[in-house]
Amino acid sequence: MDLPASLKPIAAEQMGVVSRRQLTEHGVSIGQVRWHLGRSWRQVLPGVVLLGTSLPTPSQRYIAGQIYGGPDSWLAGPTAAALFGFLPEDADRRVHVLVPATSKPRRINGVTVRRTRLMHERLVQRGPLRLSSRPRAVVDAAAVLPESTARALIIDVVRRRLVRLDDVTHWVEVRQTHGRVRLRRAVQEAAAGAWSVPEADLAALVLTSRVLPTAWLNPGLEDENGARLTTPDVWFDDVGMAVMVHSCEFHAGALQWDATVTDDSELSSYRIVVVGVTPEQLAKDPPSVLRRIENHYVTARRSGFRPAVVATPRHAWRLTA
């Protein structure tokens, strides 16, 4: 059927996804709606209609979820984080919607509608979509994702300065206490300067040592002439020793692995002791990793030699035991 003229701009803005209420308010009878459903239209959610028969695209699913949530709803959590580019779209295939506390929570057909009393945020408008603020999207996503994914998300967005650490901390502290401990851990790791979950795990491991001194994460490193050098993942400044996390996941492909080896070689050319570890070793046998780092450190300290390089902490925080 030819849509009423008043409905056409709404349908166009909403990418062909409309509510039954919008249809009837603009002159489409209930009988006409019923006739078209299953023939030329598709019902994607209760009360939400796609003006076509094809499967909805991801964007149409987002619009449908928001319409289903009601006029005061907005997209949140992993859905908003994916739309901001913080997560891949397949990180969580559900459409996450927030509604005021007076509304009804529900879950149906890949859409999760949750209530919230935290209404004091500035929503981001993207065409017909309303999204949580960036820091809240990160925190709400981290709260429902697996722990390793959640930590990686918070560390990554803070490292790339896509959100401010203070804003992430705010949304962690104002949410309910359930799950707050692991969120705080990720925030602390990001604040300390970790650039990845394996680096954070390494930093936590060296904190347990009674042999190793203060460790710095990702400090700036220069030679005596001021030339910038490769950034070490973990640095012990008193002896000038670097610990580097080497992961196939983060160095996929021959070219990236070659670059990793080159970085280690550059540091070694300045007579910097470089200790390489892998995420697999950290996960399977952390005591052995720690002993190896400690042995290299003790040897370096006994030698009395420190490379002629200058390290500058990247963050105000330093990891201390």
Same domain, 68 and 188: yes
Same domain, 89 and 39: no
So what's the pLDDT on residue 262? 59
pLDDT of 108 higher than 90:
yes
pLDDT of 319 higher than 90:
no
* Residue whose C-alpha is closest to residue 247's, from 202, 290, 309, 183: 202
CATH number of the CATH domain containing 245:
3.40.960.10
CA torsion sign for 19, 51, 107, 153 is negative
Same domain, 172 and 260: no
Same domain, 122 and 173: yes
Confidence of residue 317 (pLDDT cuts 50, 70, 90): very low
Q: State the chain's mean pLDDT as an integer.
A: 90
3 domain-assigned:
no
Same domain, 122 and 226: no
Q: Phi first, then psi: give them for residue 69, nearest 5 degrees.
A: -70, -25
The whole domain housing 48 covers 8-54
pLDDT tens across 241-258, in order? 999 998 655 444 444 434
Task: Read off the pLDDT of each residue in 181-204 and give the average, rounded to a whole number.
Answer: 89
Q: What is the C-alpha separation between 60 and 17, in angstroms, rounded? A: 7
Asked which of 175, 192, 209 is the last residue of a domain, the reply is 192
Same domain, 67 and 179: yes
1 domain-assigned:
no
212 domain-assigned:
yes
- Amino acid occupying residue 85: G
So what's the pLDDT on residue 258? 47
| Structural domains in the chain (count) | 3
319 domain-assigned:
no
Same domain, 98 and 208: no
Same domain, 89 and 164: yes
Asked which of 164, 192, 220 is the last residue of a domain, the reply is 192
Q: What is the C-alpha separation between 50 and 106, in angstroms, rounded? A: 21
So what's the pLDDT on residue 256? 47
Same domain, 212 and 302: yes
42 domain-assigned:
yes
Asked which of 192, 223, 251 is the last residue of a domain, the reply is 192
Token pair in block for residue 83: 């739309």
Same domain, 127 and 210: no
Whether the CB-CB separation of 217 and 192 falls below 8 Å is answered with yes
pLDDT of 196 higher than 90:
no
pLDDT tens across 282-311, in order? 999 999 999 999 999 999 999 999 999 999
pLDDT tens across 123-140, in order? 999 999 999 999 999 999
Same domain, 71 and 91: yes
Q: What is the pTM of this model?
A: 0.79
* Strand order, beta sheet including 111-116: 106-108, 111-116, 95-100, 74-75, 129-131, 124-126
262 or 60, greater pLDDT: 60
Token pair in block for residue 135: 């820091």
Same domain, 262 and 305: yes
Of 201-205, 213-217, 261-265, the least confident = 261-265
So what's the pLDDT on residue 72? 94
CA torsion sign for 147, 148, 153, 154 is positive
So what's the pLDDT on residue 252? 44
Per-residue burial over 23-46, b = 16 or more CB atoms within 10 Å of its CB, e = otherwise: beebebeeeebeebeeeebbebbe
So what's the pLDDT on residue 114? 96
